[in-house]
Structure 1
Amino acid sequence: MKFVAVTSCPTGIAHTYMAAEALLMAAKELGHEIKVETQGSVGAENVITEKDLMEAKAVIIAADTNVDKSRFAGMTIIEVPVKDAIKDSKGLIERAANAKPIQTNVKKADEKKTEQKESKTGVYKHLMTGVSFMIPFVVAGGLLIALGFAIGGIYVFNAPGTLGETLFSTGKAAFALMVPILGAYIAYSIADRPGIVPGMVGGFIASNNGSGFLGAMVAGFAAGYIVLAIKKYVRLPKSLQGLMPVLVIPLLSAAIMGILMVYVIGKPMALFNTTLAGWLTSLSGANAALLGIILGCMMAFDMGGPVNKAAYTFAAATVASGKPSAIMAAVMVAGMVPPLGIALSTVIAKNKYTLEEREAGKANWALGISFITEGAIPFAAADPLRVIPSLMVGSAVAGAISMIFGCTLIVPHGGIWVLAIPNVVTGLLPYIIALAAGTVVTALILSAIKKPIEK
């Protein structure tokens, strides 16, 4: 039996390919054939063809972002979050194999199956679609700013026309697009292409009126549902229907979004951001440690899920101005700890891991130092009650140490690979200590509480 599948996660880095590998292995063990298209950070790979669709019994979509399903019209679709494909890939394939297609009334020899969707859509999926489009701007902008500082020094912005200042300015431009892109693609996830214009307009206004990424999030959701309402309630004569996508929807939705952002959404969101920024600025000593603990726990709790992404998006916004951020430093070091702690635990407590887990632990060294927290997911899925608390404690320790010593970063990603760039990190030695301490704490707790593997 043959199936086709699409996997896609918000970052397009780890979950996407881990889910694809899990589905391929499960299909092989169950005696089935599957082709998995990965929609990752480099675009779609192993793309599903028309021939594949004709041969497939069902389509599996394991995604936390918006996936275009128009090409699968008439086919049985099993749609789940990407983590489900990692945790229970065999169960997912068995669901697809046992799914009964609902026959259409079209009397043709090649009668197709009707679409059968088991989808989990809603706020999280729309938000993650926006985040997935935003992250490349965040990463590119942050690294360009870092390179600008490395070449031109800490006052690079005072030397216009130089290579360092050009890279710095380009990075700032990428950061400036971050918030509008977030709003645009949340709306896109809700209302498809017509949502992009009002979503981007709302996001752009949010980036300029102080409401920031929180305002853009609200704007994105508002824009998407405004477009859906316009499509439903605004009716034109058939002769004028062609004006809907090119004139009526963009004009009405953008105008409504502008009014909402200025008179309804903007001011409350700006006040919230100002209050939050003032509170964070006032934190020091024990309070700073508490903030580091909270951020660390958020990063390790679901390892790339909505709680993790909320902490990361919040931290990334603090470096959007190109200024060093203690919050970003705490978030990145806390995000590196889970896979590194697991990797170390598989070395010092080999009798508590299967051979397959020990091999996966080797890959976690590379994932951890690259700030890819998702490498910890298979271990957490296999033993959540022991693994997740261990990861949270280690990440909390790392975040607290980073905050106590006032470590800062000016980049939103990159792991240890960016630490060698001059002026990127403040307090390099305590930052490395924070990473090592969190890793060791997680590894020791895991090694102590996990049960030995029965021979």
Structure 2
Amino acid sequence: MKFVAVTSCPTGIAHTYMAAEALETTGKAGGHEVVVETQGSAGSTPLDPAVIAAADGVIFAADLEVKDRERFAGKPFVDVGVKKAVHDPSGVLDQAVAAVEAGPVAAPATAGTPAASGGPRPATKVDPNAGVGTRIRQWLMTGVSYMIPFVAAGGIMIALGFMVAQAAWGETGAVEVTQVPLQELISGFSITSGQDWAALLFQTGNAAFAFLVPVLSGFIAYGIADRPGLVPGFVGGSVSVLVGAGFLGGLVTGFVAGFLALWISRWKVPKGVRGVMPVVVIPLLSSLITGFLMFVVIGQPIANLMEGLTSWLNGLSGSNLVLMGALLGAMMGFDLGGPINKVAYTFAVTGLATEGLSAGAVQYQIMAAVMAAGMVAPLGMALATFVRKRLFTHAEQENGKAAVLLGLSFISEGAIPFAAADPWRVIVSSLVGSSVTGALTMAVGSDLRAPHGGVWVLPLISNPLGFLLAVAVGTVVTAGLVVLLKSLKPSPLVQAEQAADAAAAPVPA
């Protein structure tokens, strides 16, 4: 059969492309032709209409609303999450074959497309029929997925600004760059001045970072109430920053604004008022109530809680820091880009936005530990495939080559193909190795102001040799443990593949 597919994930980085590769490879092995459109963070190249017309069925493996979904109207289709396609591509293809055999269907729902919504809009996918816990996670992930690019751009520019400042001013550069008057930068910028470039990078990064909480709050509210939630969500996030409630306040205002906007949008109003509801009434009332709650009722208690959390973090030292690093490392290695991994990562990146941090602050050490631990799983699996090839299938050996670059770039999802094929042994190995790396990174005192980048931001990491040592030790631990566990009980898939290879080998004369 011929299938077309669309893959997407909240961040549009790893799962989007891994799902596409899994569907294409599995389809080819099963005698099917699968052509995939990846709707990732870098945009997408739409499928040729002729390819869609020739397809027997459609596979939607997406955690976001599919763009221009009406193109596939009338085609039998299956709609699954992107992780399903990564972990069980053969099962997804079986569903697609069954859908084709069941016959033509009505046009799929087109929510989120320009035709249905009156124009392009941000994409999200929240299952209204899911349980409360699942929907809360989906709302949170909507906010986090839109927040991460602001954090990455802002954090890396700030870190580069400090690096250039130290070269331009010397040891006092990290302080000097924060005290350059904005007007002096605007009116007196010199393209040959390292100090001016440092100030420019720092101020631009700060401007990007300032969106962190409002974007988080705004898109949580958007996930709950659709477009009516955007205005009160952004307003609530901005107020949260003003009152010092930080990202905790942004989380609260996201939910408050979203449910307020959803409630108001469902009011039964006269026909003459309906036209002004989304333009005036909903944003006005929901923003006013959200602002009142944050300024007068809950803003200060949340700000006090944030201050207490910051003080507690800054008070950590010695063995307590090492234990925290081990815990965060274990979370990064447990589900490889899943909810627990994202909790640890979000905790680290939001800590970067804490005001008044000095060099060596615990929040920067947490970011370094989280990034180091997140690199370990794919690197460990890659090393294992290199040193003991016979314990892995041919496909896993190829995935090991790709996992090197993914691991070096801090994309934990590079280990997912291994975990999908052999969950408990891979996850146990990843958890232990990542935990070791998190603890070691804290012990050597590395810190990091950039929220992403892996080895490519190594110049921005303090004590880079210690950081690399921690990653290397965790990688070796992960590889050694997975090799040991697989040696004790070889995988049936590997045994079957080796038997097939032996049967196909030519008999000596």
Whether TM-score is above 0.5 comes out as: yes
Cα offsets for 1:331-358 (capped at 9, x unmatched): 0111111111111111111121112211
- Match status 1:122 vs 2:155: no
Which moves more between the two structures, 385-394 or 443-452? 443-452
Equivalence for 1:262: 295
Q: Tell me if structure 1 keeps the 8 A contact 2:75–2:105.
A: no
Q: Given residue 269 of structure 1, which amino acid in structure 2 is its aligned partner?
A: I
Instruction: Find the residue that maps to 1:40 and give its secondary structure.
Output: coil
Counterpart CA distance in 2 for 1:269 and 1:222 is: 14
Deviation per residue, 1:184-212 (Å, 9 max, x gap): 11222222222211111111122232322
1:47-67 residue CA offsets vs partner (Å, 9 max, x unmatched): 246666665555433233455
- The correspondence for 2:148, drawn from 126, 135, 142, is 135
Q: 1:61 to 1:124 in 2, by over 3 A?
A: farther
Indicate yes or no: 2:243 matched with 1:209.
Answer: yes
Look up the SS of the partner of 1:408 in the other structure: coil
- Separation in 1, partners of 2:73, 2:260: 26
Deviation at 1:93, TM superposition (A): 2.1
- Structure 1 CA distance, aligned partners of 2:73 and 2:296? 42
| Equivalent-residue separation in structure 2 for 1:61 and 1:230 (angstroms) | 33
Q: Is the 8 A contact 2:56 2:100 kept in 1?
A: no
What secondary structure does 1:12 align onto? Answer: coil
Aligned to 2:433: 394
Cα deviations across residues 109-131 of structure 1 (Å, max 9, x unaligned)?
x9835659997561222222221
**Deviation of the 1:69 alpha carbon:** 7.4
Corresponding residue to 2:464 among 416, 420, 428: 428
Q: Offset of 1:295 from its aligned partner?
A: 0.3
Distance verdict in 2 for CA 1:186–1:3, change over 3 Å: farther
Q: When the two structures are aligned, how many residues end up with a matched partner?
A: 444
TM-score normalised by length of structure 2: 0.81
The partner residue of 2:158 within 126, 145, 156 is 145
Q: 1:176 aligns with which of 210, 232, 248?
A: 210
Deviates more, 1:445-454 or 1:151-160: 151-160
- Asked if the contact 1:298/1:307 (under 8 Å) is kept, the reply is yes
Contact kept in structure 1, 2:214 and 2:235, CA below 8 Å:
yes
Within 1, Cα distance between the matches of 2:263 and 2:53?
36
Aligned positions of 1:4-403 closer than 5 A? 4-43=4-43, 45-48=44-47, 58-67=57-66, 71=70, 78-99=78-99, 112-113=106-107, 115=109, 122-153=135-166, 154-155=174-175, 156-160=177-181, 161=185, 162-233=196-267, 235-320=268-353, 321=355, 323-324=358-359, 325-403=364-442
Kept in 1, the 8 Å contact 2:74–2:105? The answer is no
Structure 1 residues 47 and 119, CA gap change in structure 2 (3 angstroms): farther
Q: Taking every aligned residue pair, what percent have the same amino acid on both sides?
A: 52
Whole-angstrom CA distance in 1 between matches of 2:485 and 2:453: 31
Paired AA for residue 83 in structure 1? K
User: 1:186 and 1:34, CA in 2 relative to 1: closer, same or farther beyond 3 A?
Assistant: farther
Q: 2-side partners of 1:331 and 1:68: how far apart?
A: 33
Larger radius of gyration: 2
CA change 1:118–1:353 in 2 (3 A) is: farther
CA contact (8 A) 1:36 1:46 kept: no
Report the CA distance between 1:78 and its aligned residue.
3.3
> Quick check: 1:439 aligned with 2:472?
no
Question: Contact 2:228/2:262 (CA < 8 Å) preserved in 1?
Answer: no
Question: CA, structure 1 residues 6+260, in 2 after alignment: closer, same or farther (shift >3 Å)?
Answer: farther
Matched position secondary structure for 1:409: coil
Partners of 2:311 and 2:428 in 1: how far apart?
31
Question: SS of the residue aligned with 2:39?
Answer: strand
SS in 2 for 1:94: helix
Asked if structure 1 preserves the Cα contact closer than 8 Å seen for 2:410 and 2:453, the reply is yes
8 Å CA contact 2:164–2:197 kept in 1: the answer is yes
Q: In the aligned structure 2, how far is the partner of 1:89 from the partner of 1:59?
A: 14
Normalization by structure 1: what TM-score? Answer: 0.90
1:359-385 deviations in Å (ceiling 9; x for gaps): 111111111111111101110111111
Tell me, yes or no, if the aligned pair for 1:137 and 1:178 is still in contact at 8 Å.
Answer: yes
| Cα offsets for 1:220-244 (capped at 9, x unmatched) | 22322222211212x3322332111
Structure possessing the higher relative contact order (Cα contacts under 8 Å, 6 or more residues apart): 1
Alpha-carbon separation, structure 2, partners of 1:99 and 1:214: 44
Alpha-carbon spacing, 1:403–1:331, altered in 2? closer, same or farther (3 Å): same
* Alignment gaps of 5+ in structure 2: 111-126, 167-173, 186-195, 499-509
Structure 2 residue aligned with 1:107: none
Structure 2: how far apart are the matches of 1:189 and 1:68? 17
In structure 2, how many angstroms separate the alpha carbons of the residues matched to 1:247 and 1:22? Answer: 47
Indicate if the aligned counterparts of 2:245 and 2:303 stay in contact, CA closer than 8 A: yes
One-letter amino acid of the counterpart of residue 222, structure 2: Y
- Cα 1:301–1:221 change in 2 (3 A) is same
